[in-house]
């Protein structure tokens, strides 16, 4: 049911706002509904990803990443890197250190993202790590993974930060 400009002008202001808002939502859905990420191309839906988000002083990045890698390894899963960086396929402490080194040389307000696939016995799980550094040295670190791995990632992040008094 589309309305032309004359019909819209005859509506009360509140109704005009609703029509405009609905139109904007339809446009946004059309724009973002057709985009696809590398995870979508691999058959993994971003809508199924659970985000684990935290913010802390950047000097703790390496330790937190190693703790996440340790928890994933202790859950007896192997992690293979996807994308351009394929030099070390396992997300172990070495890979965590590589991501931490990338974070150490990041400039403020320029986000960086790393993509991994966590392989368990039965299936592959997406793991995305996104980092954003601010001017004061605080790091926003986001992990996106499926609901099966999210509790392990959250436990690793919270366990480290709470144990250090944050």
Are residue 21 and residue 52 in the same domain, yes or no?
no
Q: How many CA atoms lie within 13 A of 141 on its CB side?
A: 29
Are residue 16 and residue 76 in the same domain, yes or no?
no
What is the domain range of residue 80? Answer: 48-163
> For residues 154 and 158, what is the distance between their CA atoms, to the nearest angstrom?
6
Residue 81 in domain: yes
The CATH number assigned to the domain holding 154 equals 3.30.160
Which range has the worst mean pLDDT, 9-13, 38-42, 98-102?
Answer: 38-42
Residue 43 in domain: no
Q: What is the DSSP letter of 47?
A: G
Residue 1 in domain: yes
Helix (H) or strand (E) holding 159: helix 150-163
Burial of 105 (0-12, 13-18, 19+ CB in 10 A): exposed
The count of domains in the chain is 2
Q: pLDDT tens across 102-149, in order?
A: 999 999 999 999 988 777 777 777 889 999 999 999 999 999 998 988
* pTM for this entry: 0.65
Are residue 19 and residue 59 in the same domain, yes or no?
no
Are residue 10 and residue 68 in the same domain, yes or no?
no
Are residue 78 and residue 105 in the same domain, yes or no?
yes
């Amino acid at each position: 049911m589309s309305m032309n400009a004359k019909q819209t002008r005859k509506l009360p202001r509140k109704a005009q706002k609703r029509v405009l808002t609905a139109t904007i939502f339809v446009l946004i859905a059309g724009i973002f509904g057709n985009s696809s990420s590398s995870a979508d191309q691999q058959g993994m839906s971003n809508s199924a990803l659970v985000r684990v988000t935290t913010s802390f002083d950047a000097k703790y990045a390496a330790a937190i990443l190693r703790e996440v890698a340790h928890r994933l390894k202790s859950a007896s899963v192997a992690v293979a890197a996807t994308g351009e960086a394929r030099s070390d396929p396992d997300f172990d402490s070495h890979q965590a250190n590589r991501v931490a080194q990338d974070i150490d040389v990041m400039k403020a307000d320029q986000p960086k993202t790393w993509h991994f696939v966590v392989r368990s016995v039965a299936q592959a799980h997406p793991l995305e790590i996104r980092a954003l550094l601010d001017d004061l040295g605080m790091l926003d670190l986001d992990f996106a993974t499926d609901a099966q791995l999210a509790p392990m990632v959250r436990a690793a992040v919270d366990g480290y930060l709470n144990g250090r008094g944050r």
